[in-house]
Structures are given as C-alpha cells and as structure tokens.
Amino acid sequence: MVSVFVIISVVTPPFVIIALLMTLAYTRLGIYYLNATRELKRLDSISMSPLLSLFSELITGVESIRAFGAQNQYTMEAMNRVDVHNRPYYLLWAANRWLCSRIELLGCLVSFSTTILILFNLDTIDAGLAGFVLMYAISFSEYMLWFIRNYCDCEISMNSVERVNQYMNLEQEAALHSTPENKPPADWPATGSVQVDDLVLEYVPGTPVIRGISFAAAHGEKIGVVGRTGAGKSTLSLAFLRFIEAAKGRVLLDNVDISKIGLEELRRNVTIIPQDPTLFNGTIRFNLDPFSEFPDELLWDALKRSHLVHDETSGANSSSSSGTASPTESLPTADGSACAVDRMSGIFKSLDAEIKENGRNLSLGQRQLVALARALVRRSRLIIMDEATASVDFATDDRIQRTIRGSEFANSTLFCIAHRLRTIIDYDRVLVLDKGEVAEFDTPWNLLQNEAGIFRGMCEKSGEYEHLYTLAQSKHGNSAGAALISF
Ligand SMILES: Nc1ncnc2c1ncn2[C@@H]1O[C@H](COP(=O)(O)OP(=O)(O)OP(=O)(O)O)[C@@H](O)[C@H]1O
C-alpha cells in the first residue's frame, strides 16, 4: 500500500494529489449542505401553505372577525404561523452561512498550501508566475462556493418539478363525453325517475360512508332527505352528479345508469342548489345562462318566478303580494357595496346588471334565489337542494318552497336535504338516513305515526311538533286519524 502511494507521488505532480484531496473535501461539504437544505426547503414550502390559507381566510372573513371581536385571536394566529414559517427560512440562511465559512476555510488552506509551495520553489518560478498562481488560488474558494451553491439551488428547485409532477399524476375525473355506444337518447332524461340500487360510496377505500342503500323516486316526486349530522346526506347528493363515484351499486336516472355516460351530459341535466351557491363575476344574464342558450324572455321569466323581480302583470312583487315578505327584507349585501338589485323595488334593472365575484353584492338569500332561477332556466328533470335554505330567513325559505311546490318544478324530481323539518314536512316522501343506511322512507304523515321512528323523534325535538304534525296531516293525513298524537 505504502509503495503505491510512493509510486503515485513520484509519477504524478504533487498538485494533482492536493487537487484530489480538495475535491474530496468540497464534495463532502456539498453533500452535507445539500442534505440539510433540501429538507429545510421542503419545510419552508410546507409552512407557507397554512400562512397563505389563513391570509385568504382573513380577507374573505374580515367582517365576521370584526363582528365577533376576534381580531386579537387572529393576529396571534397569524403571528404564530409567520413564526413557524420563519423557522426553516432562518435555518436555511444559517446553513448558507455554515457553508460559506467552511468553503472560506478550505480556500484559506488552498492559498496557504500554494504559498508554501511557491516559497519552497522560489528558485524555479519567477515572481510573475508566483503572483499569477497565488491570485488563482485566492479566487479558487469563491468559484467553489459559487459552484456548490448553484448545484444545490438547482437540486432544491427540483422540488417544484416534483410538485408539478404530483399534480400531473392526480387522479382524473371520468370522461366528459359519452362514447357512441353509451350515449343516452337525445331527449334524456325524459322523466326524472331515479332508482338507487345497493349504492356504496366511500371517500377512503374500504371505509363506506353510504352502505349499500336502495330506494326509488318516481318522476316529479319531491323527496326530503333528513338525518343526523354525518349520516351521509351530502355524500349522497354528490353521487347524483358523480363528484364521488360509486364504489358499488348504481344510480339510474330515467333508466340510464349515470356511471356509464359522460360527465358533461350528466351535469348538464342535473341541477344542484347548494347551501352557498357559486355566482360568477359578470352579469345576471351570464350567471343564469353562461352558454347563451336561452332567450331573454325565459331569463326574465325565471327571475320573476324566483321572486327576484316584479310580476309585471300584477304590478307588485309577488312575495309581498302574498304578504310573506317585503322586497327589501333580504337585500342587505355582504360587503355593503352597490347592489345589483334596486334596493327599493327588489328589481334587477336589466339582465346586464352586474354580479360581483361570488355574488358579493347580493345577500345570501338573493344568491340562493339566483341559483333557483338558474334551475328554472335549465328545467332539469332532477334537482338537488343541499341545505339550500339553511341560512335564509323564514320568509325567503317560504318563497323558495312556494316556487318549488308550484307548477315550475312539477316535471322535476326533487331531493331536498334540510335540517329545518318545516321545509320538507309537506313533501311527498321523506328519506331518513342513519349512519349511511336508509332508516326510514315514507310519507311524512306515515313516519309521524311511528312513535319509535327517527323522523318522529327529530320532529319532537324540533320544538314545533304540533305545527309539523298539522302540516303533514293537511297534506297526507286522513281526517279519521286527525287526533293529535301526544308526546
Ligand atoms: N371529503 C371527505 N373525506 C373523507 N370523509 C368525508 C368527506 N366528506 C365527508 N366525509 C365523511 O362522510 C360522512 C358523511 O358526511 P356527509 O357530509 O355526507 O354528512 P351529512 O349527513 O351531509 O352531514 P351534515 O348534516 O352535517 O351536512 C361523515 O362521517 C364525514 O366525516
């Protein structure tokens, strides 16, 4: 072994050995630095997301925060998140300084060794060459620092490529368009009949949220869907639009298995009115008819029927004429900015009236009425309302329910998820979900007769049992059994 070193040192110039040693030292330093900074950069990116999400929550919820006097709480939370984000950032810089000091130290070693070599060889090299070599030896550490840092930066930046790659490999939704073999008939769905067979839905494979339920709804039926929190009501509604795919079983709409057709065909024909409807920045016309498919008369008609504008024939707002609400009751806007609706009359002045992003210039009740108008324009055979009236006043709820029960939706099958039992008590049938299973499915009146039933229990706990009982009785009950059930 010793002889090998002797031979190498004899046949190779000494600077090659020094260069090899230096390369080894720099490589070790670089690897050490890279391992630490790679993880720190990851932590830096991860801790940035909570900070940005809090920031956007603060911007959208600033009114609520002020209303509840929670400024200090949120300021503290923001500071905590800034601190958490600053930790890896600070350590990144510390690692940077650590690298610099080590590289400088090695650089000094290089300059020192070079100087010693020059001193020992003064008789063989002239002053010019010595100065030239020394100058390069001194700037050597700078170049090495530049090289190592750039290499590490390049590798760390590959984090972003890794993320893009993750997004590119995200699971995609099913095909938008049906294949020619699976294309539903042109007039599909001619009816809104729905049949659910042994449907299983799960967010996490192997953990079903809806556990093999089966039921059917006839064309034009109005079905109320109730159940305790977490029973799976919203999950079921998402399955009708295939936002969540069936793990087992199937849903037939007008005898067509919805899992076999394209998403676009399905979603064009099913309307959902969510609790907080999404409105787009643009005009009311664009919000009702984004693809410009319908004439203006139809859009005005939908606005009238959803009680957003005067009925010109009666010359009065239809809701106020029935004495349930004044047109100005639901007008306060979320941001207090200019409202697209005339504050005095509750009338959209034109179909080009401006709707701000997310309907900021409308109240929540008005946004839900716009969503209802959208459903009226599209005249879908299947309509799903997910707590669509949960946060509106009783008067607005009453208006929406009157529209639903009226002739407008006579040809549509409706599933209405509601916590307010008054909303669905006079529907045709009520579907009670419990822990992802169908616990009860019958007319509200029949369900009220079952003293041990879940629906009956919910009505009793609601504090308005007598009223609900009377409403159910007037719709479904026969006069012979009119005695009020005591509880
Ligand atoms: N995105 C999700 N990922 C995983 N589990 C979820 C998800 N959304 C809901 N769940 C779970 O599915 C179950 C049913 O939730 P779902 O929202 O359908 O209930 P719900 O009856 O609509 O409740 P609520 O009346 O409170 O709106 C719950 O146990 C819930 O934890």
Q: Tell me: the pLDDT tens digits for 402-421?
A: 777 777 788 889 999 988 89
Q: Tell me the pLDDT band of 259, cut-offs 50, 70 and 90.
A: very high
Which contiguous run of DSSP H or E holds residue 226?
strand 222-227
Q: For ligand 1, say whether the CB of 229 is within 6 Å of any of its atoms.
A: yes
Does any ligand 1 atom lie closer than 6 A to the CB of residue 230? yes
CA distance 487 to 472: 16
**Does residue 235 have its Cβ closer than 6 Å to ligand 1?**
yes
231 touches 458 (CB < 8 A): no
Q: What confidence tier does 336 reach under pLDDT thresholds 50, 70, 90?
A: very low
Q: How far apart are CA 180 and CA 29, in angstroms?
A: 62
pLDDT at 306 over 60: yes
Is residue 315 pLDDT above 80, yes or no?
Answer: no
The CA–CA distances, whole Å, from 364 to 53, 278, 318, 331, 349 equal: 23, 11, 20, 9, 19
CATH number of 2-168: 1.20.1560.10
In the predicted structure, residue 372 carries a pLDDT above the cut 80: yes
Enumerate residues 6+ apart whose C-beta is below 8 A from 100: 145
For a ligand 1 pocket test, name from 213, 228, 234, 385 the mutation site with the most ligand atoms within 8 angstroms of its C-beta.
234
Q: Which residue has its alpha carbon closest to ligand 1 atom 29?
A: 230
Mean of per-residue pLDDT scores for the chain: 83
ipTM > 0.90 for the complex: yes
pLDDT of 5 higher than 80: no
CB 176 within 8 A of CB 263: yes
Q: What CA–CA distance (Å, rounded) separates 485 from 466?
A: 9
Superfamily assignment of 181-442 in CATH? P-loop containing nucleotide triphosphate hydrolases (3.40.50.300)
Residue 431 scores a pLDDT above 50: yes
Question: What is the pLDDT, as a whole number, of residue 291?
Answer: 87
Nearest CA to ligand 1 atom 26: 229
Query: Would the CB of 231 count as within 6 Å of ligand 1?
Result: yes
Q: Is 59 or 307 the better-scoring residue by pLDDT?
A: 59
Q: How far is the CA of 177 from the centre of ligand 1 (A)?
A: 29
Q: Is the pLDDT of residue 229 over 60?
A: yes
Domain ranges of the chain: 2-168, 181-442
pLDDT at 6 over 50: yes
Q: What is the pTM of this model?
A: 0.69
Over 60: is that where the pLDDT of 285 sits?
A: yes
Find the length of the chain: 487
**CB distance 233 to ligand 1 below 6 Å:** yes
| Average pLDDT score over residue span 420-447 | 93
Residues 203-221 have a mean pLDDT of: 94
Q: What are the tens digits of pLDDT across the range 62-102?
A: 989 999 999 999 999 999 999 999 999 999 999 999 999 99
How would residue 480 be classed by pLDDT, with cut points 50, 70 and 90? Answer: very low
Region 256-274: mean pLDDT is 91
Closest approach atom of ligand 1 to CA 235: 18
pLDDT of residue 310: 62
Say how many Å lie between the CA of residue 230 and the centre of ligand 1: 5
Beta strands 222-227 and 194-204 are: unpaired
